[in-house]
Amino acid sequence: MSEEQGKATWDPKIIAIVCNWCTYAGADLAGISRIQYPPNVRIVRVPCTGRINPFYIVRALQEGADGVLVSGCHPGECHYLTGNLSARRKFAMLKKFLDYIGVESDRTTFTWCSASEGERFAKVVRGVTEKVRSVGPARRLVKSL
């Protein structure tokens, strides 16, 4: 398969690591309400964004994910009160660092989305899929062996 063909058939693979208490339910709501969004996300459910080891994101990129989306409860609404606030510091540092070493900034996205925001979840997924599509298939940090 030539590279051109490869690009034409390529569809972004996005790992979404989401909080059980908000975004996961939000994604469910989007489904129940029959809101359409691109099928490019693979959802991983975690108890809280504070539970996410930055390593998960780096490993997802190494294993060939074209993008990673992390979504949790809006600040002040964390089920465990402050998990998302400590996560926010971690992710702010991680996003800047990955960009600094040359892993395109559009590959990592962080957002908040509550259980009642099915529409917002769909919008986020659409936006992220577009962003990732515009940077193209993952080339950096990807394991080849």
Partner 1 sequence: MEAIERNLREEAKRLLAEKKVDVIVGYEAGTLPLTATPTFITDPAEAERLVWNPLCVHNLAKYVHDVITQHRNSQKRVKPESRTRKVVGVVARGCTSRSIILHLQERQYGREDIVIIGVPCQGYIDRKKLSVSLNGEEVLSGTIEGDEIKVMTGTGEKRLRLSDVLADNCITCRFNNPIISDVSLGEPASAMKAEEEFNEVNAFEQLSSDERWAYFEKEMAKCIRCYACRQACPSCYCPECFVEQSRPQWVGIGGDASDTQVFQIMRIFHMVGRCVDCGSCIAVCPMGVDLRKFLKKLDKDAFELFGSRAGSSLEDPPVLSTFKEHECEDFIYNP
Task: Summarize as ranges the residues that interact with partner 1 (CB under 8 A).
Answer: 54-55, 58-59, 62, 75-76, 82, 85-86, 88-104, 109-112, 120, 123-124, 126-128, 140-145
Residue 25 to residue 141: CA distance in whole angstroms: 32
CB of 7 to partner 1, least distance (A): 18
CB of 98 to partner 1, least distance (A): 8
CB 67 within 8 A of CB 109: yes
Nearer to partner 1, 21 or 67 (CB): 67
Nearer to partner 1, 21 or 112 (CB): 112
CA distances for 6 relative to 42, 53, 101, angstroms: 21, 33, 26
Nearer to partner 1, 79 or 126 (CB): 126
CB 79 within 8 A of CB 119: no
Nearer to partner 1, 25 or 138 (CB): 138
How does DSSP classify residue 106?
A: G
